[in-house]
Chain A
């Protein structure tokens, strides 16, 4: 699903965030991306999302060369990749329903199909009864689950998450991780950046480890 081939990223500030990274992630796999703060985890996920462009090397996602994508192709490409952020990126002036519905509306689903899929996604994260609530009326864990519902509502084959349990207590974190595992079990490829070592170890998944922008372990499945 994901192929990194000697990928480097140097920011315009001159900062080398990633150096010569090569690894593969198979279709339907679930893996973690770890490393100290500043190791380059977010940068790596941004490259996959085409939010940043690699300075060198090749990135292939689902058989597509990400760096070759034109501006408008990037938009369509992103419809196949779900993302969850630590700062959940929810819109506070919209209801939970409308937040989750965004990707579907953009992709041009009918209102009826949008409603059906939004409810299915909210049901999956256990927030069906909160669809009319506004994000600020929800707890941090609930907000994070709204973000996850939005990421999966389009049923993307690939799901990325950057520190999805960052501010959550251990119980909530475990719950969120279980959700990701559920999505993985129905065939979604899942790739999660996190430095919650204890949690990652309990999950028993493959771990891609970065240090100062270099891949130190987990490059091979």
Chain B
């Protein structure tokens, strides 16, 4: 419809005070965001259930993800210390040692080879073992000479088994020590946990979507009249939708903030014992915290989930609220 142009001097002033479409759009985003946040914070008791539901739905997968991350770091620490020890049946000739060393280093899986003479082995043993006095009573050094082979961390476990058999057959080698069972178990556990994590994350994500969806549906129900009137006086679909989308996003974001707090609390609770344990067994291992980026990802995921839940509901529900 063509609006008759105003011919009064007021026209200019009126045009200045009318925002551009972009400004109006931004202003409504700002107002919707502010209003829906104020609504939630203004009714903390009513909102608490939604916040907590979101917090739990986000915190559980986040904690499990952290556990997995730490398990990965742990296996990596163990990987780094993948070592094989080749024990000689009798103290070898220098030439034999050199030859053997050269052939081992030539293998693609081997990073480093070091010869440990019986004397050197004894020194190391004394240095790390308080019970070394036991050995003092013996006439001869009972420790065998050995080759300490450090393997590259990316060597597959199956390959290690093959190498072990090959090396055991080498002339002059009494036995080969290589502990891979632990690693195998850890890796298997990791795979299982990753699957479980994926499933849990999906299930809890769906639950969160449904929960937010229901909350938003109730809000739409409560604001039915308002929606009808705004439609009658010219509100677009996007305009009507906007406050509800922000509502979902806020539930998600606040829930995520609570989840982040929860995760950090849990981490703080296990950090002490875990570090004590790792000092005993895997000295290179340090507990990994979510950090800034992890926390940001959590907040982002929470807002996105809330927004999506609201969006899915709004698409369905708002169509039913038409002036008749």
Contacts and interface: CB of A to CB of B under 8 A. Distances in A.
Interface stretch (B199-207, B225-233, B296-304): B225-233
Given A80-B1, A80-B3, A89-B229, A107 B237 contact: no
B18 A113 contact: yes
Interface string B287-324: 00000000000000000000000000000000000111
Nearest to B22: A108
Contact of B17 (A72, A81, A110, A157): A110
B1 A113 contact: no
Contacts of B228: 89
Contacts of A164: none
- Max chain B C-beta neighbours (<10 A), residue from A77, A112, A113: A113
A154 B232 CA distance: 13
A56 interface: no
B167 interface: no
The interface size bin for chain B is 20 to 34
Contacts of B265: none
B18 A109 contact: yes
B17 A113 contact: yes
Given A72-B236, A78-B232, A108-B23, A62 B18 contact: no
A75 B231 CA distance: 7
Given A102-B229, A108-B21, A108-B28, A72 B237 contact: yes
A106 B233 contact: yes
Given A63-B1, A109-B18, A157-B3, A102 B28 contact: no
A157 B1 contact: yes
A71 B234 CA distance: 11
A110 B324 contact: no
Interface of B, helix, strand, loop or mixed by DSSP: helix
A25 to B, nearest CB: 14
Contact of A75 (B23, B24, B236): B236
B4 A108 contact: no
B233 A108 contact: no
Contacts of A116: 17
Interface string A42-83: 000010010110000000011110000001100111111101
A77 B28 CA distance: 20
Contacts of A158: 1
Contacts of B232: 49, 51, 78, 83, 89
Interface of A: 46, 49, 51-52, 61-64, 71-72, 75-81, 83, 89, 91, 102-103, 105-110, 112-113, 116, 150, 154, 157-158, 187
Top 5 A-B residue pairs of the complex, sorted by shortest distance between their CB atoms: A108-B24, A62-B1, A113-B17, A79-B234, A103-B233
Given A106-B230, A108-B28, A113-B14, 20 more contacts: A51-B232, A51-B323, A52-B324, A61-B1, A75-B235, A77-B1, A80-B1, A80-B3, A91-B225, A102-B229, A102-B230, A106-B234, A107-B234, A108-B19, A108-B25, A109-B18, A109-B24, A110-B17, A110-B18, A187-B4
